[in-house]
Amino acid sequence: MKIVRVSERFQCHIGKGEWALLTEILNLYPCITTSRHSGPAGGPDSSQNLLEEYLSEQRLENKQRLRAFLASRGQFEMTDKAWHFSVSIAELEWLLQILNDVRVGSWMLLGSPDKELEWESLEQPTARHFWAMEAAGHFEMQILFALKD
Amino acid sequence: MVETTTPETRPGTIEEIQEKTKSALEPGFLVICWNDPVNFMDYVTHVFQQVFGWPKKKAEFHMLQVHEQGKSVLTRDSMEKAEHYVHQLQRYSLHATMERDE
């Protein structure tokens, strides 16, 4: 995937195979199912409940928006090998949040390991989460690189 | 935190980070971001810039503090504002909490 900033928008060029991968990853959203809010020192209970409600509503809203985004593929420009479409800065920022949800959620599903996972320790169920975490990270880095420019 | 690039800024090198005194910020709740091994360093820096509107150097300073010390107190503010920041950070899937500053 190549993302090029053109004025206030970003032109995205993505090969068909990579688009299929991106779609697979985006369809995993929402991946974070439990709150990460409870840390060594959380806020007041009311604050935590409010946060849970807020995040839950946010996930629903994002899921609907994501469906609309993926359904809009018909409006993308297509060449033999790639799709081309344009997104605003806000949309790219939103995609980054979605992808990181999948990355962090997949990591949580792997048991929140402290160290990098060894290939040998992966089994069929965990390999899927590992793949999702790595693939989401790949797209995140592409977006972060584009946003840096 | 997953290492991506090596920022030039190191913790303790920016005088401007020695922020406002406590009295100037009272009353207060602390917004804390905790380390995890999954979020990219570049991502965390980017999120701090977005949520707090910080310049890159300040965002990198706090990102490195999280990475090296396990956590960073990002700001001290009223309960309402601290909640807002925690919500924003959680929206980006960072591990953030708030606590009363005793």
In 3D, which of B64, B48, B68 has the Cα closest to residue B56? B48
The H-or-E segment that residue A128 falls in is helix A124-148
The pLDDT of residue A41 = 44
For A15-29, the DSSP string reads: EHHHHHHHHHHHTT-
CA end-to-end span of chain A, whole Å? 16
The full length of chain B comes to 102
Return the C-alpha torsion angle A12, B37, A128, A71, nearest 10.
-30
User: Does A83 fall in a domain?
Assistant: yes
The pLDDT of residue A137 = 97
Q: What global pTM score does this model have?
A: 0.85
Least confident of A30-34, A44-48, B32-36, B73-77: A44-48
Q: Does B82 touch chain A (CB under 8 A)?
A: yes
Q: Does A77 touch chain B (CB under 8 A)?
A: no
| Global ipTM | 0.87
In 3D, which of B53, B49, B48, B65 has the Cα closest to residue B1? B65
User: Does A44 fall in a domain?
Assistant: no
User: Does A13 fall in a domain?
Assistant: yes
User: Does A39 fall in a domain?
Assistant: no
Report the number of distinct structural domains present in chain A: 1
User: Does A43 fall in a domain?
Assistant: no
Chain B positions touching A135 (Cβ under 8 A) are none
May I ask the CATH architecture of the domain B37-100?
A: 2-Layer Sandwich (3.30)
Chain A positions touching B34 (Cβ under 8 A) are 39-40
Domain, as residue range, for A96: 2-34+55-148
